Structure 1
Amino acid sequence: MGRWKGGAQCAVMLTFDVDAETLWLAGDATRLNQPGMLSQGTYGARVAVPLILDLLERAGIRATFFVPGWTAETHADVIRAVHERGHEIGHHGYLHEQPTALAPEEEAEVLVRGINALQAISGEAPVGYRSPAWEFSAHTLDLLQRHGFRYSSNLMSDFVPWVHPGTDIVELPVQWLLDDAPFFLFGSGRTQRPIQPAAVAYQAWTEEFEGIYRHGGLFNLTMHPQLIGRPGRLLMLERLIEFIRGHEGVWFATGREVAEFWQREG
């Protein structure tokens, strides 16, 4: 018997950071005048998210979408569809700001703006927080505690959840290996690293899943609609889901479900 819900051997989270245009606008609002650059993010919201929602519906999986407040306001119909189809919406800043670049009062303001934007969509405050760039300031944890967050998904110090000392906030660990950006992020205004074929990510992710499965950990996959949402890469994601389901005792869950289980049983 494994440690997870129903005795499952391994927990699996499929998560999507819906950055949309904020990935390019953060720190440089003048890029609003560069539609070619921003179209990379527009694709993520307007085209990729609906494709991802259809894939998840076919697979019968509920996922977690981490959404900047600006994205929720600018693409409200898209994010509303995420909520209406039963997926969790988590906090991902307002304009993809990095907390370590903000003064304490600015970080607090950004957190509240994001909460309000997401609450306008879902009717409730988010309980999960994923920082842009997966980074904390000296004030982040206190802010999360003050605003009632139940979990963070930002740190890389383990592959099983843990509770931040002195709080009741569960950390759901991430890892660059389980992120689509190192394989696929390319383009003007961001990076010029070589684009990898989808098969390379598939090999890396299946290898890591098998290792995490053996140890009974959490397979927390971070994806970005503008990257994973290309047609060929979505075919790879379908194959990955089939591969994972070929193992006994796998629990697909949202971040909220994993955190609540860990608070009770972990």
Structure 2
Amino acid sequence: MALTVDFDAEELWLAEDPANAARPGVLSQARYGAEIGVPRLLDMLDRLGVPATFFVCGRDAERYPSVMESVAARGHEIGHHGHTHRSPHLMTREEEAQELARGLAVLGEFTDRVAGYRSPSWDLSPHTLDLLVEHGFGYSSNLMDAVVPYRHPGHDLVEIPVHWTLDDAPHFWFDATSWDRTIRSAREVAEVWGEEASAIHDIGGLVTLTVHPQLIGRPGRLRMLEEFLTGVRAYDGGGGGGVWFATCGEVADTVRRAPAGTGAGSGAGFAGARS
């Protein structure tokens, strides 16, 4: 299991609509995530001994350097989530390259190496994979075409697959502009996550759980997340073996060490890559 935290604070709302810069009520959600959600999440991960990968927008790292220092000091991985929260498919190749470089420069102030990239909204351009290789990344975590990590054909990158089912945003996101989203209860989301995680466990795959501090950081949801992670840890070794909690970087390194042809396409391959 790879617990991933998309720490997009104000940049999320500014990318949605630049006019949000003048809306303190909207931006207060971002501030809550950074100032309350992340510290409480870090405390919970300490209690459980679970590592996480924090994908961070460069500009949000600039806004909250003390939060970033705390993430790094607790031993969690820091990954790239854009410099701004703009999707690569809306940029030219040059703009996308600049986004990667600027984000790397900022995140490099808090970690020795940024190995992984997660795009805002999990969307890529025709140039993204080439640019990731050019900028020295080791893995991408954006695509929904597998339940095990795999090597990208034609690119020296490992993919850490994701899915909306295992993301908190589709379940908890609420936009006050339209009022067309129903906020699900933490109990409902725990049930959805539990069904998917259990099934992936049984085939020896990878559960990539994605949470956002301004969403998961609410007290009731954090309690649910702690209970969920505790339950996952209790999975027995019957179906797909025991549960390994790892950062995305650790997963990618494991796939790279495996012989070609393993670690992709089947749970047995990923389990073999870990042994």
TM over 0.5: same fold?
yes
- 1:233 is the counterpart of 2:224: no
RMSD over equivalenced CA pairs, Å: 1.2
The answer on whether the counterparts of 1:24 and 1:189 sit within 8 Å (CA) in structure 2 is no
* Cα deviation code 1:153-190 (max 9, x no counterpart): 00000100111111220001000000001110003358
Paired amino acid for 2:70: A
CA–CA separation in structure 2 for the residues paired with 1:142 and 1:126: 17
Tell me whether 1:181 sits opposite 2:169 in the alignment. yes
Query: Take 2:187 and 2:177, find their aligned partners in 1: how far apart are those partners?
Result: 26
Count the aligned residue pairs. Answer: 254
Structure 1 gaps, min length 5: 1-11
TM-score, scaled relative to structure 2: 0.90
Q: In structure 2, what is the equivalent of residue 159 of structure 1?
A: 147
C-alpha contact 1:177 1:204 (8 A) present in aligned 2 = yes
Describe the SS at the equivalent of 1:17. Answer: strand
Equivalent residue number for residue 99 of structure 2:
110
Partner of 1:212: 200
| Deviation for aligned residue 1:29 | 3.2
Q: Deviations over 1:95-149 (max 9, x none)?
A: 1110000111111101111101100122x23100000010110110000001111
Identity %: 52
CA-CA distance at 1:258 after TM superposition = 0.3
Taking a change above 3 Å as real, the CA distance of residues 126 and 189 of structure 1, as seen in their structure-2 partners, is farther
Residue of structure 2 in register with 1:51 after alignment: 40
Contact 1:37 1:189 in 2 (8 A): no
1:169 aligns with 2:183: no
User: What is residue 97 of structure 1 aligned with on the other side?
Assistant: 86
Q: Distance in 1 between matches of 2:52 and 2:177?
A: 29
* TM-score between the two structures when normalised by the length of structure 1: 0.93
5+ unaligned residues in a row in structure 2: which ranges? 237-241, 264-275
* 1:255 aligned to which of 238, 245, 248: 248
* 1:90 alignment partner, SS class: strand
Q: Tell me the equivalent position of 2:266.
A: none
Question: Residue 118 of structure 1 aligns to which amino acid in structure 2?
Answer: L
Preserved CA contact (<8 Å) 1:152 1:170: yes
